[in-house]
Copies of this chain bind each other. A is one copy, B any other.
């Protein structure tokens, strides 16, 4: 079995770096301890080894596809849905009252990370079902909950989120799907949705679509959008299922993640598609954003997962493949000796460390965000607001950094294999194709960057940003007292100063009403901030590694902790080190208008 994940690293991140133990004190999570979580993760790892990893290549080579009006997916999707339900991977974090086990989100995130590293085609099927069911439990009536959620938690019915329409793309203001009120309180739904992940297949007997649509006559823009539960099949009074006029019109064949179906759905072509409103009219987008925000972090986790799998695949190759020789002090190579393993070449080591630094730092960022998610769930008042703002602040970065930098990591993994990396017989090319979608799913990098700079930085007059800076400052303060870490703590402090300079330079554009200029380099700002935030995560990892080494409490072996410190140093040298150049670009006023003048692109 090829390695795709490192369980020691995952446990270290969960239990030491992110102190999962902290949250067991809250009544919601009182049933859990480290041991029970660890056993849960072991069972997910076994499931992934046995059922997910073995069919990963096959799901790519025999992709999900549309045939005779149906979506055909790999038969293992049946096992996936059943076993996911059995392991609690759909409803485990739900409240007891909804049949859940109140598992900490952190534990479930870790579980999905394992599954997704094993086979990134898989987690979307149970994951979106969980997200849709959670949305119904949060904002739906008791009747909606009783009707749909138990079958979804059992993996018998799938769930989806239906936002995108052909003419609107990322611009949700322009959604035209329409809901016509009916005398019985339900609605008739008409419209088309595209790019619907996991939207149909034979291994769920029903699908519960969460659909954004406008109630007839609603105002234009996002303020006229409502949310509906629209099942593929309606439930008849006798409990049997009948068609609800939701037709799968086709699918999208993709470059990667080919085992995860992407569908085109048509609602109400026969005027017989019934939907039920979730929550209040015209507030649909705010409800959907619960699911959307979780999905964004899941996409970031997808980036981490593929990068993890690619790292271990390329590491294994580098440890086994002999080629060339190390350079001697006279600059020559000794051809009388045998070849060395390629892991001994500095450039290969650089490519390995870059992958490790990106994937582990990103994993830490995903867990940090998820911890805020857990904490906002169990706290109240000001404390809750604090965690909620921190989560909002991190979400676009947690979605984007692993998607963008994870792609670079995988790219380096492929490069380590040379010509073989480009060949279909080796798995790296599949990871390379798969991870490319992460920068597009659930809001492209451009959209996330506008969210970060345009909305999150200025949220509540900058309060969210201040809270985040305070968190980072606390990590810096801890690290600055440790001799080994002090230089890196100071570097990170300097980066925060530079971020302030950049914002002091940019914000006046917004204040003077030139929003387009303010936001024109948002994607670069995202790249700049992402490196700072992951630098923060690495400093945190460094603190816990160094503490282990200083106290001698090293359950994973000394080398494990030294490797973490080493990778932290690598990240600071090679990634944080480059960030000053980005700051220069962001504060360059020579060609302010470079992006504004349409005429000069041809």
CB distance from A190 to the nearest CB of B (A): 21
> Which range holds the interface residue count of chain A?
35 or more
Q: Which residues of B contact A572 (CB under 8 A)?
A: 590-591
A171 interfacial by beta-carbon distance below 8 Å: yes
Contact in complex: A415, B433 (CB < 8 Å):
no
Complex Cα gap A115–B483 (Å)? 60
0/1 string, A224-246, CB within 8 A of B gives 1: 00000000000000000000000
Q: Which residues of B contact A12 (CB under 8 A)?
A: none
- Are A324 and B436 also in contact (CB < 8 A) when A585-B578, A594-B570 are? no
0/1 string, A501-522, CB within 8 A of B gives 1: 0000000001001111001111
- Are A253 and B344 also in contact (CB < 8 A) when A487-B590, A574-B585 are? no
A579 interfacial by beta-carbon distance below 8 Å: yes
Complex Cα gap A486–B286 (Å)? 52
Q: Which residues of B contact A523 (CB under 8 A)?
A: 347, 350
CB distance from A283 to the nearest CB of B (A): 17
For this complex, 11 residue pairs linking A to B, each with C-beta atoms less than 8 Å apart, are A173-B324, A194-B419, A328-B515, A346-B516, A349-B596, A353-B594, A563-B600, A569-B590, A570-B591, A574-B585, A579-B581
8 Å CB contact of A347 from B167, B222, B322, B520: B520
| Chain B, residue nearest A523 (CB) | B347
A336 interfacial by beta-carbon distance below 8 Å: yes
Interface-side segment among A66-74, A200-208, A210-218, A440-448: A440-448
8 Å CB contact of A573 from B222, B335, B487, B588: B588
8 Å CB contact of A327 from B330, B437, B515, B569: B515
| Chain B, residue nearest A458 (CB) | B331
Report which A residues bind B (CB closer than 8 A).
6, 164, 167-171, 173-174, 194-195, 220-222, 252-256, 315, 321-331, 333, 335-336, 339, 343-350, 352-353, 356, 407, 411, 414-415, 418-419, 421-425, 429, 432-433, 436-437, 439-440, 444-446, 449-450, 454, 487, 510, 513-516, 519-524, 559-560, 562-563, 566-567, 569-570, 572-574, 577-582, 584-585, 588, 590-591, 594-602
Contact in complex: A573, B602 (CB < 8 Å):
no
Main SS class of interface, A: helix
Contact in complex: A421, B440 (CB < 8 Å):
yes
Q: Which residues of B contact A600 (CB under 8 A)?
A: 559, 562-563, 566-567
